Amino acid sequence: MGKRVVVLGAGFGGLELSSILSEEFGGDLDVVLIDKSEGFVFGFSKLDVMFGRTTAEHVLHRYKDAVNPGVTFVRAEITGIDAQAKRVETTAGSFEGDFLVIALGADYDVSRTPGLAEVGHEFYSEAGAFALRETLAAFDGGNVVIGITAGPFKCPPAPSETALMLDAMLRERGIRELCTISLVMPFPRPIPPSPDASAALLEVFAERDVAWHPDTNVRSLDVEERVARLGDGSALPFDLYLGVPVHRVPAVVEASGLTVDGWVPVDPRTLETPWPDVFAVGDCAAVGTPRAGVFAERQAATAARRIASRVRDEAGDAAYDGRGICYIEFGGDEIGIVEVDFFGDRPRGTLQGPSLALAADKQEFGASRVRRWFAREWQPVG
């Protein structure tokens, strides 16, 4: 057929999209997958490494090991995107396609939280989370504040999970009574679309003495006094600050003029941008669903099916349904599952668990993606 799809970013969205196109067309469709990183790391693996459950080496899935027919991986930094021409500039040259898929995720702007770089720790990047492994292992007590500056941020349950995983770790080490844990979030409840899961989390916060500060944010960290200044005018002293940095699209996406209000505009049902045959999926796109891998991959599946139909000159009607399943760590290896449906009129956010039994489901979630994307066996915690 001689068509080419250029996929920008090999994260949750880019890997899923290129795997589906490979399954559909084998070597008959030229898929170029571009990413600047050495490999892929699941978001949840960052917490697993940070809390000492596994190692950074174990959770890195190297792109050189991905062998999907028809897919060529190019390790390069994307430096310019011309959506009209469906062409990208990279440190390995330029690439032009019949279709372009922007799946570049979200970046972090640490400087938007004054003091964070000086006296706090962000735990959302790989480097930040991995470095915290040693910091947490050496922590011998004090006030811990887990704070968010602004939404949207990836995986809304992750800060609550961090509070409960920290509580479990400190209890295991016998130093919980020497610590306070405060969680500051600009939402009225921990998981806004799920009253069930939020109620369960609030109950566990109360049981485990996690101080919950809803409807406010952390504006800055006072470097001298080591207090977090909150949007509601109050202040929380900290010995250890774990922060979710402000999210933004990667600079190249903005510089290429692809954003409206900070994100790439798409039709939420088709994932098409205003430029013909250019799609955007996952965290960089303004879809109306939370920034999470489960949503990125389902969006990618829709975009892949739409592209497949066009490659075959067929009318395609694949539509994204806004649904996804999130796993929530409750500490002590107990996992809850929330099913969310952002576009439908069915009840939203029903919670299953938490239970030890659901941990196997989460393991299989990660293992099945690695099997599909990298053709090998893997256990998330090992």
Ligand X SMILES: Cc1cc2nc3c(=O)[nH]c(=O)nc-3n(C[C@H](O)[C@H](O)[C@H](O)COP(=O)(O)OP(=O)(O)OC[C@H]3O[C@@H](n4cnc5c(N)ncnc54)[C@H](O)[C@@H]3O)c2cc1C
Per CB under 6 A, which region of 10-18, 139-147, 259-267, 268-276 contacts ligand X? 10-18
197 vs 227, which CB is nearer to ligand X?
Answer: 197
Cis ω for the linkage preceding 188 (within 30 of 0): no
Minimum Å gap between C-beta 234 and ligand X is: 26
Q: Which of 250, 336, 353, 380 binds ligand X (CB under 6 A)?
A: 250
Whether 275 contacts 83, CB under 8 Å: yes
The interface region with ligand X, picked from 112-120, 173-181, 292-300, 310-318 by CB under 6 A, is 292-300
Contact call for residue 294 and ligand X (CB under 6 A):
yes
Q: Pick one of 104, 170, 304, 311: the residue that binds ligand X (CB under 6 A).
A: 104
At residue 239, φ and ψ (nearest 5 deg) are: -100, -30
* Residue 349 near ligand X by CB under 6 A: no
Residue 291 CB, nearest approach to ligand X (Å): 5
| N-term to C-term CA, the chain | 43
User: How far is Cα 18 from Cα 24, in angstroms, rounded to an integer?
Assistant: 10
Instruction: Report the C-alpha gap between 324 and 151 in whole angstroms.
Output: 20
Toward ligand X, which CB reaches closer, 178 or 357?
A: 357
Min. distance of Cβ 296 from ligand X in angstroms?
4
Classified as helix, coil or strand, 300 is helix
Residue pair 319/270 in contact (Cβ under 8 Å)? The answer is yes
Distances 4 to 22, 30, 86, 198 between C-alpha atoms, Å? 12, 5, 11, 45
Q: Which of 6, 9, 122, 167 binds ligand X (CB under 6 A)?
A: 9
Nearest approach in angstroms of CB 171 to ligand X is 21
- C-alpha dist (Å) from residue 259 to 84, 151, 370, 380: 14, 17, 31, 35
Candidate ranges 7-15, 141-149, 176-184, 268-276; the one touching ligand X (CB under 6 A): 7-15
The binder of ligand X chosen from 30, 122, 272, 283 (CB under 6 A)? 283
Amino acid letter for position 130: F
Interface residue list for ligand X (CB under 6 A): 9-14, 34-37, 43-44, 46-47, 77-78, 103-105, 124, 154-155, 158, 250, 252, 282-283, 291-294, 296, 327
